[in-house]
A = this chain, B = another copy of it.
Amino acid sequence: MLERADLPERVEIKDVSPRDGLQFEPNVVSVDDRVHLVDSLTAAGVPHIEVTSFVSPKWLPQMGDAETVMTRIERKPGVTYAALVPNPKGAERALAAKPDELMVFVSASETHNYKNVHCSVSESLGGFHRICEMARGEAVPVTAVIVTAFGCPYEGRVPIHAVLDLAVRLESMGIADITLGDTVGVANPLQVAEMVKAFRLNASMVRVGLHFHDNRGTALTNLLAGVISGCTRFETALGGIGGSPFSPGAGGNLATEDAVYCLQEMGIKTGIDLDRLMEASRFLEKIVGHPVPSRVYRSGGRMVPAGYGGSARE
């Protein structure tokens, strides 16, 4: 059964488009435009924003000048402006830019972690220890994303207990906010529900978030499964941009517009103004230079499609 009484009043959205969304865009977006994107998300009422990552600009020129972006965005009180870091060196740079949150990431599968950051999962966790110490000194909370949490392109389906074990290790070093990422879009709704339930039963000290990619069209459906199961924290990207550099457009993030629209239609609050969010989408589409995958953006949201009229004959 799916009943209003079982749904939460409110869901927290973190928009990851300025980082996860833009990091593999073929065109490097200017600092000005990246700042304006973050400010547009703030203006739309997005409560959490992943602003940038502090990685080597040699690797990812798209995330260059991360310090300047962090300095120039307009920070609204109450909004969390997060920075992603791959290692202690990145954390040092990030902390100097005063983020509200440091995000670290590790894969649920060894092979993916090695391909992604060229070290083992244990080595990644070793770095997190140092990052947590550094962040504690600045009173900045550290959160983590477990990527490939629902399936790995090299190792296949990831068992729930492996994700739980990893989360418990993260929590033991003080990282209690943990997002589970479906990095290649292979999660199914039942698996999502079972994962959230397993965390509630076995790792209730962890605050679970969910992050879905839409390779197989399941992202919004998985969000619904998460919401039904009691999860109220989701990462989405404006326009549905992002995903693997090897299949542009095909495996983007769940679009923030699509998530907000569907949640609000069910009476679940997000604090986000859909019309202002769509203004941000229009800007995003301009700066990336190609159509964005969001369906709600394309159809115009709640309104009746402008072109619909005359005889539909069905």
Please report the C-alpha to C-alpha distance between residue A313 and residue B148 in the assembled complex, in whole angstroms: 12
A313 touches B216 (CB 8 A): no
Q: A295-B215, A299-B216 are in contact. Are A314 and B147 (CB under 8 A)?
A: yes
Q: Does residue A172 face the partner (Cβ distance < 8 Å to B)? A: no
A312/B1 contact (C-beta < 8 A), A188-B262, A262-B189, A296-B217 known: no
User: What's the nearest-Cβ distance from chain B to residue A21, in Å?
Assistant: 11
- Asked if A20 CB lies within 8 Å of chain B CBs, one says yes
In this complex, the interface size class of chain A, counting residues with CB under 8 Å from chain B, is: 35 or more
* Residues of chain B within 8 A of A156, CB atoms compared: 304
CB contact list, A249-286 vs B, under 8 A: 250-251, 255, 258, 261-262, 265-267
The docked-state distance in angstroms from the alpha carbon of A294 to that of B250 is 10
Which of the 9-residue segments A65-73, A119-127, A134-142, A220-228 touches chain B? A220-228
Q: Does A78 contact B (CB under 8 A)?
A: no
- Per the 8 Å Cβ criterion, residues 1-52 of A in contact with B are 1-4, 6-7, 20, 23
User: So how many copies of this chain end up in the complex?
Assistant: 2
Interface check A101, CB cutoff 8 A: no
Residue of B nearest to A60 (CB): B313
Contact of A244 with B by CB under 8 A:
yes
A225 partner residues in chain B, CB cutoff 8 A: 2, 224
Binding site for B on A (CB under 8 A): 1-4, 6-7, 20, 23, 55, 59-60, 86, 105, 112, 115-118, 145, 147, 153-154, 156, 181, 183-186, 188-191, 193, 197, 214-218, 220-221, 223-225, 228-229, 244-247, 250-251, 255, 258, 261-262, 265-267, 294-296, 298-299, 301-302, 304-305, 307-314
